Chain A
């Protein structure tokens, strides 16, 4: 069996990739995808912990958290995509840098 450390390392690496995606990507849809990557990092970590609680058994607490959290991520993505469609209507582009009329 692979050591648990590798799964945690994977989760943290996924999290950093998600943050990199949010910081550097210009396409608004890719930003929403970055959010999904961030949430999935946490999911990987939950599932790994629940599988490693004891040998041959899994802990259903971690699974139930992930099941519910997936649907929340779906809600946020849906709302994000709705806002993206309106941004596209206003600007005729998905480049987030064209949007920066507001001061950061």
Chain B
């Protein structure tokens, strides 16, 4: 009984929050790219589904190479994390 009431209250709050945010967002425009630096031309890619993948991967390798290599280390660390937790416990004598 108590739990059901709490759940109802939480659900109502969430629905209210969603409605309020929806109203706010649609009412007050997001300042989309209002503060872009005009001296810095962006590296844009043509919106064509046949080439977009190659273009984005080229961008990744050219501009984001530090992130990519760091990401490789993150993946390595994630594998080490899973191995650390999935290790088989040796029986102690």
The interface residues of chain A lying within 8 Å CB-to-CB of B59 are 60-61, 63-64
**B30 touching A82, Cβ below 8 Å:** no
Instruction: Report yes or no: A57 in contact with B14, Cβ–Cβ below 8 A.
Output: no
Given A13-B21, A20-B14, A58-B47; A4-B32 close (CB under 8 Å): yes
Residue in A16, A71, A72, A82 whose CB lies within 8 Å of B14: A16
A 1-20 contacts with B by CB, 8 A? 4-6, 8-9, 12-13, 16-17, 20
For A, the interface residue count at a CB cutoff of 8 angstroms equals 35
- Cα separation A64 to B66 with both chains bound (whole Å): 13
Q: How large is the interface on B (under 10, 10 to 19, 20 to 34, 35 or more residues)?
A: 35 or more
The majority secondary structure among interface residues of chain B is: helix
Q: Quick check: A60 and B78 within 8 Å, CB to CB? A: no
Chain A residues with Cβ under 8 A from B33's Cβ? Answer: 49, 52-53
User: Is the CB–CB distance between B81 and A13 below 8 Å?
Assistant: no
Per DSSP, chain A at the interface is: helix
Q: Across the two chains, which residue of chain A brings its CB closest to B70?
A: A68
Given contacts A52-B32, A75-B75, A75-B78, contact A60 B43 (CB under 8 A): yes
A23 and B56: CB pair below 8 A? no
Distance of A32 from chain B, by nearest CB (Å): 14
Q: Output the nearest chain A residue to B86 by Cβ-Cβ distance.
A: A82
B22 lies within 8 A of chain A by Cβ:
yes
CA distance A35 to B75 in the complex (A): 19
Give chain B's interface residues, CB within 8 Å of chain A: 7, 10-11, 14, 17-18, 21-22, 25-26, 29-30, 32-33, 42-47, 52, 55-56, 59-60, 63-64, 67-68, 71, 74-75, 78, 81-82, 85-86
A-B interface, 5 closest residue pairs, ranked by CB to CB distance from nearest: A75-B78, A60-B59, A57-B44, A9-B25, A20-B14
